[in-house]
Amino acid sequence: MAEVASTETRRALDWLVQERLILGGDDLRCPHQRFAAVVLGKIIEGQDATGRNLVGRLLEAVLADPAMPLAGLYVLLQELGRAGHYGQWTTLLPSGALQPALDRAWSADTSELRGEASYLLTQAEPYLAYSGGDKRRVSDINWIR
């Protein structure tokens, strides 16, 4: 994201490496997927309102990226919902942030993508409920369950 200063990004990456939360400054993977979810929760907990707003915008960019697999977006939403207490971080996403991912899910055209889409759609419900999302889509999601 252009709004994030490169020095701020470098400082954040250096801290993540120092804390052994990512493998390296040029290798942003966490040692394990579940560990990545815990790290995300800890990063969010350590932020003030401005930092959480930035995390929300970064999540919005990830959800809008057509290169991200639907199954990966499902896991991201699932783990974000588990982080914190009682799904408190579901409120991080700006209104409408899920729409690009939902559009992709509803237009899935292969059996594999439809399977991934169904997982994503069932995980999206709490986020839609918070943001006042499309009520028809929420009822469609309940039908999938």
CB-CB contact of 72 with 101 (8 Å):
no
How does DSSP classify residue 46? T
Cβ pair 77, 123 in contact under 8 A: yes
Q: Angle, nearest 10°, between helix axes 111-131 and 70-82?
A: 40
pLDDT of residue 143: 53
Positions of the chain with pLDDT under 70: 1-5, 33, 86, 129-145
Which tokens belong to 78? 């699932």
Quote the pLDDT of residue 4.
55
Task: List beta partners, residue 24.
Answer: 27
